[in-house]
Amino acid sequence: MDKIRTIAVLLFNGVNILDVAGPIQAFKTANRFGRDLYSLSFVSTDGTPREACCGLRLETDHICEDDELDDLIVPGGDGVDAAMGDPDIQHLVKNWIAQRKGRRVISVCSGALILANAGVLNGKSATTHWRRSELVVRKFPDVNWAVNEIYRIDGDIYTSAGVTSGIDLALEIIRRDNGPELALSVARELVVYFKRSGGQNQFAEVLEAQFVNDPAIARLMAAFQQNPGTDWSLESMSDVAGLTPRTLSRRCVEKVGFTPAKTLERFRLKLAKIALENGVDVPRSIEISGFSDFQMMQRAFKRHLGTTVGEYRNKFADVH
């Protein structure tokens, strides 16, 4: 980079302070390892203080329409819903990139909803916090949501997933601007991994398929629950559901989003996750979850969670 990049961090009431702190501390730390690379301003639409959702009160500077700042960081938090209805914020976000070339808009967590609401994500690819994934797909269908991604970059639009993913995205921006060595130094200084393995889905709850609003499918789910280890075939699943195989397949995709076989696999995966999280060992977890063997369980973890059984256990298991 040939000049200091000036970054405006938009603050609003109910902002998640960790969404704010992660990226800005990464950019700030990048300055320690070289000349000044990033300059930060903390702004609001009127320059008065804002209260983060943790209760911390933050002073702000007023951001003007014609501020000569390069990038705009839009964090998330409980206050996002109110911020989506704030015309000044919407105006700012909507016009940021249009006003001047070379600008970037960077969202963290549910901050992506503010961007989506302003229309700047239409036709673009973006991510957000896994908890908001159903909502955004429904509410903003013109956005190509990639909610399993820890971050997503599409042209001038940089979005990151839940909360701490803002650090991952900031590291990637530093890498692109200044090379991998600096990004790695910053990661070490912050004591975070430079690159995390697996997508955001490993942090999300597996789809609560058993609460699906369809009696036939619910019956099948209850049968899975009772006998996850049964060697289920499409025929035996159809029998339990009281549907033809063809109808079961169609309705399962419609209601649950997956074929019957895939739904069973995801159900087993959920049982395995819960077992591992509670400190159950791997052989017993295979038994509890109904996978036929370790290979089947491993494959499901890799396919759906982007991680291995061993890694998942290391990260989430309550073993001391």
Residues that bind a second copy (CB under 8 A): 16-18, 20-22, 24-25, 27-28, 40-42, 49, 53-59, 129-131, 150, 161-165, 167, 175, 180, 184, 187-197, 200, 203-205, 277-278, 311, 314-318
Burial 157-185 (b: 16+ CB within 10 A, else e): bbbbbbbbbbbbbbbbbbbeebeeebbeb
Residue 18 beta carbon to a second copy: minimum distance, rounded to whole angstroms: 4
Asked if 152 contacts 146 with a C-beta cutoff of 8 angstroms, the reply is yes
138: left (phi over 0), alpha (psi -120 to 50) or beta: alpha
Q: Which is nearer to a second copy, 184 or 218 (CB)?
A: 184
Residue 281 beta carbon to a second copy: minimum distance, rounded to whole angstroms: 16
- Cα separation, 45 vs 63, in Å, equals 6
Q: Which is nearer to a second copy, 155 or 179 (CB)?
A: 179
Q: Which is nearer to a second copy, 73 or 237 (CB)?
A: 73
- Cα separation, 29 vs 6, in Å, equals 15
Q: Which is nearer to a second copy, 97 or 192 (CB)?
A: 192
Q: Which is nearer to a second copy, 216 or 305 (CB)?
A: 305
Residue 114 beta carbon to a second copy: minimum distance, rounded to whole angstroms: 19
Task: Name residue 39's beta-bridge partners.
Answer: 6
Residue 285 beta carbon to a second copy: minimum distance, rounded to whole angstroms: 16
Q: Which is nearer to a second copy, 101 or 320 (CB)?
A: 320
Strand bridging mode 50-51 / 57-58: antiparallel
Token couple for 259:
């074929």
Residue 279 beta carbon to a second copy: minimum distance, rounded to whole angstroms: 8
- Cα separation, 306 vs 137, in Å, equals 22
Asked if 277 contacts 246 with a C-beta cutoff of 8 angstroms, the reply is no
Residue 235 beta carbon to a second copy: minimum distance, rounded to whole angstroms: 37
